[in-house]
Structure 1
Amino acid sequence: MPRWTLPAGYSPREWMKVGRISPTWYRRALAVLLTNSAVLYTLYGIGRLDLAFYALTGSMLVLYGHEFDLPTRVRKMAGLCVGQAASLLLVGLVAAADPGTPLLVLVGSALAAAQKLACERYRVGPPRHVVLVFLDLGILFAPGVPVSQLPLRWLTYALCAVWACGIVIAPALWYSRVGRRAWSPGDPPVEADPELLRPALRCLVGVAASGYIAELLGVGRPYWAMVTAAAVFVGTRVQHGQRALQRTVGTLLGLGVFAILDQFAKDSDLILVTLVVASGAIIEVFITANYWLGTVWVTPMALLITSLPGNATADTLIGERLIDTVVGSIIGIVVTLLTDVRPPPHQHTRPAA
């Protein structure tokens, strides 16, 4: 009997191997720590943590743009700010209308596909569209607020987005004045997919299917399944399988971390905010060694952010996130296999410089 082997390029052992932490980890971690701490502690101080999701949608733009020179960095960050503003306008109005879960899933899926298309087209990232999808869908599926309250939330986003862009642009601006190359966290450039429409449509189908299946299973927050599916659709078919495995393992371990942290977060909003800020910085340390290792901290941070308004218990969040992760990963792989008939790419070695 011939021994069964995985297709070329599929190596779960290699996918889970932990590499060295990037020597420049502190640069992005410091940027995230500075941006999010200023935003969240300010909201805590004025008693408006209910604005946290909109604020973080702006401040999390600090994750982008570090790999570019000054002129490109300014253009990319300006585009991100405008694009996110348009997304927030859409999700805020749709959530306020409260059209029901089926339509919310459809709108969220279309938005995720549009963000993937834009990030691939303009080579934005990492982390590409995944963070944008998580934050926008979080607002879309949260209890809607009256339209009259939306201007304050949009203003909160705008102020935090400008602050984040300033943190990203300032180092490049400073070093350009002294005639030195701006420091970068060492991110590789994002390669544009030559077939932009097909990956976007695949993302649309996969994210929508994940949301509807999660809803049929009775999950109260189907958008987590949608975010998981969106995270799977990064790169080639082989990379889809890699990302699904890494995200699943990282999420399972991260749920355990959240169960521990949540016991402290329940004591006060100040501790909750501190844990969110600290988790954001820790992610930037470990994700450079392997995506799954970073996801161990992405998961508790995401759940802690969702806990800020105090709308759900830890047990509910853990159970829903577990189901959503499995659903999103499986659907992402199934959609990939059904829609991508191309053979896995061969491994190429980079020629010596």
Structure 2
Amino acid sequence: MRLRRPVDIWHKPALSAVAALAIPDLALCAVGRLDLILYTSAGAMCALYAHGLPYAARARTLSWVVLGMVAGLGIALTAASLTTSTALLVVFASLMAAVHKMVCDATRIGPPGNLILTFIAASAFFVPQRLGEVPLHMALALGAGGLAWLVCMAPALRRPQGPERIAVARALEAAVALLRTDPGSAGVEPAGMEPPGMEPPDVAHARHTAAAAVNVAWHTLFLVTARTPARAAAQAGLERLLVRAESVLGHDARSAAAEAERLGAWARELRSGRPLPRVVLSAAQAEELVGVADEAREPRRPAPGRPRGARAVLARLAPGSPLLPIGARVAVGCVLAGWGSMAVGVGHPYWAVVTAASIYQANTTLSWQRALQRTLGNLLGLLLCTALLPLMHLGELAMIALALAFQFGAEACITRNYWLGSVCVTPMALLLTEFGNRLPAGTLIADRWIDTVMGAAVGLACCVLVTNRRAADRIEVALGRVAAAEASALRLLAAGTAPGADGARETGWARDRLAGGLVELREAVEVAAGEWWQRALPEERIAHAEQQGHRALAGLVRQLSAPVPAA
């Protein structure tokens, strides 16, 4: 329940969603058709996605999100028009929720993940519908989705490199945090600790955070294609900054204070939009980024050998994937929650389905925490909704204004803690229901509370019943990848850096593979550690692999960055 600092770009999805929702809401109000607001909201809420991606990648991703939203809405509306069996509709909604969960996890779409898609689709399954109306309602959703696409792409006109600059700034800030951590924070082995290479927990955490931030920033830059000389020059400047952030993983601690101050100043300049600072790199670092043979710049590319794009998504969903048990949990939990809601006579079983779907996280421990957060947030949200009932009854414009305010509040609060965001999400969801079908306030609030408790309780029970023993298998796969990447790194370190761009690029690829493997290993360990009924984790092997891997990674970074001249 502890509150955290808000995410640095929380205002971007918040403002985008408010703008994308306000325009169609006001248009529908003007023509007296607020009963259609669910369909336009389906497309407009796509504006919450992909704000961490560069604009070219954001355009592609948002297009897929809008198409996926409209397709799910179409399936839900078609089912609602063909059958009136509530029990059957609960099954369909639960299967849709499972598909949303697995696909969003496999694509690593990021916040808000599957929740918005499931909320819209589950609601649509229970909206009275005629088959002939479905094309119009899908067209409304598609039009609002196109508007959301335009809203999310509009900032590119002013700051075309904004997402890349933020990603690099985060990497610089993580590097500063590592440099300011106690002995060993800059690649120096702490004295008097056994076995060699062992680090204090705070140092190990700071090192993993820095490696992960650098890894994410490189993947962000890999998504950018520099089509003009000006864009190529700007991309080169960001890459040079990121190389300096990465060099912290192998730095000599004697210059840690000065380097931390320098990197922190560069991060602030990136966030403020000022011109990129001039960064001096070592010869090997420059050779890795520049094709010296013909003096034509070649942007750094990701290390070869790993599937990307659609192939990577399909690989994560292949038989034996740890995502499949999570999908089974969602399907079973949502079905049982919906049927349980029907059994106690609640008129909105889709709320129980959405609640169950929302609590499923990467493991049982995180799901338990999310269930507590969801339950508390919904209770407080219902109390807030009750207090604001007089305002809701002032008219349609007042309802629209409240819905937009709740949407903004949800995005402002949810990154601080999920329960705080749920306080705003709950009344907003109730308002969407009110636009299409007015119900007595007491009935609406009571039903929502019963469905919340039912969804959370049944969902948690299914976390225990449907185990994910494949989570430990992911650790074995990650250990194998780290071992292979470490062996390659050690061969390069033993041979020394080959002269020229080819040798530097090969060293860079080895560093990329090792850094990515270490990040993936830590993620796999954290997921498996939160699952119950698992075989014992190979903790000694994990600790050894991480210690040796980070040591080899620091060696590769030193090989590329030493000496690092002062800027």
Tell me which interval the TM-score lies in, with the shorter structure as reference length: 0.7 to 0.9
Give 1:182 shift: 6.3
Task: Please report the RMSD computed on the Cα atoms of aligned residues, expressed in angstroms.
Answer: 2.6
Matches of 1:296 and 1:125, distance apart in 2 = 21
Q: Is the 8 A contact 1:171 1:182 kept in 2?
A: no
The farther-off stretch of 90-99 and 239-248 is 90-99
- Residue in 2 aligned with 1:338? 465
Distance in 2 (CA, whole Å) between partners of 1:266 and 1:180 is 41
**How far apart in 2 are the matches of 1:277 and 1:127?**
17
The residue that corresponds to 1:17 in the other structure is: 2
2:408 paired with 1:289: no
Out of 351, 366, 369, the residue aligned to residue 242 of structure 1 is 369
The answer to whether the 8 A contact 2:53-2:163 is kept is no
Q: Which amino acid aligns with 2:155?
A: P
Shift of 1:276: 0.6
Pairwise CA distance, 1:180: 7.8
Q: Is the 8 A contact 1:70 1:173 kept in 2?
A: no
Partner of 2:336: 209
Deviates more, 1:71-80 or 1:124-133: 71-80
Contact 1:113–1:201 at 8 Å: present in 2 too? yes
List per-residue Cα deviations over 1:194-252 (Å, max 9, x = no partner). 51211111110011110001100111001100000000112221110010000000000
CA contact 1:228–1:329 (8 Å) conserved in 2: yes
Match of 1:82 among 67, 75, 94: 67
- What is the CA-CA distance between 1:171 and the residue it aligns to? 2.4
Query: Does structure 2 retain, via aligned residues, the 8 Å contact 1:105–1:212?
Result: yes
In the alignment, structure 1 residue 26 sits paired with structure 2 residue 11: yes
**In 2: Cα distance, 1:182 partner to 1:116 partner:** 30
Q: Which one has more relative contact order, counting CA pairs under 8 Å at least 6 apart?
A: 1
Q: In the TM superposition, what whole-angstrom CA distance separates every residue of 1:302-343 from its partner, at most 9, and x where no partner exists?
A: 011111124312111110111111111111111001112659
Q: Distance in 2 between matches of 1:169 and 1:237?
A: 37
Alpha carbons of structure 1 residues 69 and 23: separation in structure 2 relative to 1, 3 Å = closer
Moved over 6 A (4+): 347-353
Aligned to 2:403: 276
Q: Does 1:57 align with 2:42?
A: yes
| Alignment match, 2:504 | none
Are 1:69 and 1:182, in contact at CA under 8 Å, matched by a contact in 2? no
Q: 1:173 to 1:240 in 2, by over 3 A?
A: farther
| Match 1:304 to one of 428, 431, 450 | 431
User: One-letter code of the match for 2:164?
Assistant: R
Correspondence list, 1:1-353, <5 A: 16-144=1-129, 146-172=130-156, 174-176=158-160, 181=164, 195-340=322-467, 342=469, 345-346=528-529
Q: Deviations over 1:127-162 (max 9, x none)?
A: 111111111111111222x22222221111111001
> C-alpha distance in 2, partners of 1:140/1:323?
20
Report the AA paired with residue 204 of structure 1. A
What is the letter of the counterpart of residue 42 of structure 2?
T
Aligned partners of 1:346 and 1:133: how far apart in 2?
Answer: 27
* Cα separation, 2, equivalents of 1:180 and 1:150: 37
**Structure 1, unaligned runs of 5 or more:** 1-15
CA contact (8 A) 1:175 1:181 kept: no
Take 1:41 and 1:180, find their aligned partners in 2: how far apart are those partners? Answer: 30
Paired residues, what number? 333
Runs of 5+ unmatched residues, structure 2:
171-212, 217-312, 473-526, 531-541, 555-567
CA distance in 2, matches of 1:195, 1:75: 27
Task: Supply the distance in 1 between the matched residues of 2:124 and 2:334 (Cα, whole angstroms).
Answer: 16
* Aligned 8 A contact 2:325 2:468 in 1: no
Deviations 1:62-98 (A, max 9, x none): 1111111223212211211221221122111111123
**Contact residue 376 and residue 419 of structure 2 kept, 8 A:** yes
Q: Secondary structure at the match of 1:20?
A: coil
Distance 2:529 2:27 in 1: 50
CA contact (8 A) 1:172 1:182 kept: no
Query: What is the TM-score of this pair, normalised by structure 2?
Result: 0.55
Distance 1:113 1:26 in 2: 29
Which is worse superposed, 89-98 or 291-300? 89-98
